[in-house]
Structure 1
Amino acid sequence: MIAFDLIALGDNCIDRLTGAVTADLVGGNAVNVAVQVAMLGLSAAYCGAVGPAGEADGDRVLAALAEKGVDVSLIERLGPATSVTHLNVAPDGNRTILTEDFGACASWGPDGSRLSALSAARHVHIGWLQDGGHARRVLARDGVSLSQDVSVNAAPEDLGVEGLAIAFASLPEVQADRAEARAADLVAQGAKGAVITLGAKGSLALIGSQTFRAMAPAITPVDTTGAGDAYIAGFLAARLKGADVPMAMAAGHTCAAACCGHPGGFPQ
């Protein structure tokens, strides 16, 4: 069994962008993290569900991941269609989700063999996943280093943080003054540490009882789709390479800024 540096678990989709940017791209929170980590030189795999064998969108997801060096052996092909997200990109680059059809991702969770493979990774990051928190609990019980983006799910049962090494969350820039309280709340709920991204206002981390703040570089974004995922990937990749928290936060912002320079969550 290959022990990957990172396995991203959860959603994938076809991002259909309209507005200031028109494009049809592979994306999804977990997919974006896996690809960005692979682009940063670590071994990465993606674990999730796409549409049935031969479906064009599912084939596109697998091909895009493989092209970026992400292992696709843990992907499951199901009967429902691959997830599709429609987004609008404003002239200032900020994106708004218009509709989401979760398709094969809806209510999917990794089976026993996939959970065993996930347990062998140095780190597992969970994106959008509607499994009631089952995978998080099993992997935490097995002592796996875990993080999760708790800003991308809606159901409370999917958003528990107990057992997470890092809970990632985001707040809009106008709520930047709430970041410290949000991080403290996630730690109080059972996460060992928390990182809050704040768009152009930077980020805040609460790790090891220490609070850290980082500034985001000033940029003119083309498209902010996937910027938060890119930050997570940059942060995690840096930590897996031995960086301290401030260095990891800076790496996260560098990765997010680069992501904002092109359509979609990664170059394709």
Structure 2
Amino acid sequence: MSGKVVVVGSLNMDLVTRAHRLPKAGETLAGESFATVPGGKGANQAVAAARLGARVAMIGCVGDDAYGEQLCAALIAEQIDCQGVTKVAGVSTGIASIVVDANSQNAIIIVAGGNGHLTPEVVTRFDALLVDADVVVCQLEVPTQTVFHTLRRARELGKTVVLNPAPALAALPAQWYSLIDYLIPNESEATALTGIAVDSLAGAESAARALLAAGAAKVIITLGEQGSLFASLEGVRHYPAPRVVPVDTTAAGDTFVGGFAAALAQGQSEDNAMQFGQTAAALSVTRAGAQPSIPTFLDVQGFKPA
């Protein structure tokens, strides 16, 4: 392993139900299966970066319950440095209730739990981890003031800064853009950030250009089975997704972010990092679950499209 990625973000236990279709409002459906699976966008991205070749440290908060213990154990099993994962007394660990349908689409409800206790003061206690990082990765499943603190501190330290703005409900604060090297939303998040419908490659390009105009240095919009779009002031490039047979799209975006960050931390070019992250994400949708679906570096190296 080479290159150090530090992820500041959420840890959730995913409560995953599979059903033929997603329920409508007020409707009760019979499910087909249920499982508890380690997740949370922060933890997923940390696991992805670790499996895909980086040294990784995680900064986050869990509750003092069995889920918290299980989540930490799962990260440690991936050789992730967990000194920055703080247990908060009297609080439940974050959970995500996920329903996956027969077409591998999902609907998710998140309860923050311990994630809501990840304050700037907690991150400051583990500043040495940021100092040692090559790439710092954040999302939006923890308090926004903590995300802003982390982005600003990482920029002060001269680190490569990645923000996955998920979940996104509205435009980012204007002062955030100058702190971010790579802004990585999916279609719905890019729409929420810009107000532009991202339902085609043309829509994705329009949204990316709007984010560049807002001050983003570089924008990557992940587009599911259509791949991803990379945009900077130098131009725009579409990266098609490898063809695979999908099983479950959960954590595909997290796998892309973790793989992209791992490749950057190892000194790979942007083009190589994009292709590496894209292949890793495609592999992840061929498997069920969040962290269990994330491939390894060797998986990606040996991947052959369907």
Is the TM-score greater than 0.5? yes
Q: Percent identity?
A: 27
Q: Which of 160, 166, 170 is the equivalent residue of 2:186?
A: 170
Q: Which of 152, 170, 173 is the equivalent residue of 2:167?
A: 152
Consecutive unaligned residues of structure 1, counting only runs of 5 or more, are none
Q: Please state if 1:29 is matched with 2:41.
A: yes
Q: Which stretch shifts more, 151-160 or 126-135?
A: 151-160
Q: Which of 130, 139, 146 is the equivalent residue of 2:143?
A: 130
SS in 1 for 2:180: coil
Change (3 A) 1:138 1:239: closer
Q: Please state if 1:81 is matched with 2:99.
A: no
Residue-by-residue CA offset, 1:209-232 (whole Å, 9 max, x unaligned) = 232210011222211110001011
Do 1:214 and 1:246's aligned partners in 2 also have CA atoms closer than 8 Å?
Answer: no
Q: Which of 66, 69, 84 is the equivalent residue of 1:56?
A: 66
Do 1:235 and 1:249's aligned partners in 2 also have CA atoms closer than 8 Å?
Answer: yes
Change (3 A) 1:184 1:124: same
**Using the alignment, how far apart are the partners of 1:155 and 1:62 within structure 2?**
32
Shift of 1:153: 4.0
The number of equivalent residue pairs is 263
Change (3 A) 1:122 1:29: same
Q: Please state if 1:251 is matched with 2:276.
A: yes
Change (3 A) 1:136 1:155: farther
**Using the alignment, how far apart are the partners of 1:218 and 1:109 within structure 2?**
41
Aligned amino acid, residue 100 of structure 2: V
**Which residue in the other structure is 1:7 paired with?**
6
Question: Where does structure 1 differ by over 6 angstroms across 4 or more consecutive aligned residues?
Answer: none
The structure where helix makes up a greater share of residues is 2
SS in 1 for 2:126: helix
**Using the alignment, how far apart are the partners of 1:69 and 1:178 within structure 2?**
40
Shift of 1:257: 1.5
**Which residue in the other structure is 1:17 paired with?**
16
Consecutive unaligned residues of structure 2, counting only runs of 5 or more, are 20-32, 189-197, 294-306
**Using the alignment, how far apart are the partners of 2:118 and 2:103 within structure 1?**
35
TM-score (norm 2): 0.79
TM-score (norm 1): 0.90
Do 2:135 and 2:264's aligned partners in 1 also have CA atoms closer than 8 Å?
Answer: no
**Which residue in the other structure is 2:78 paired with?**
68
Change (3 A) 1:153 1:171: closer
**Using the alignment, how far apart are the partners of 1:209 and 1:139 within structure 2?**
25
Do 2:164 and 2:183's aligned partners in 1 also have CA atoms closer than 8 Å?
Answer: yes
**Which residue in the other structure is 2:110 paired with?**
100
Of the two, which has the highest radius of gyration?
Answer: 2
Superposition RMSD in Å: 2.2
SS in 2 for 1:74: strand
SS in 1 for 2:58: strand
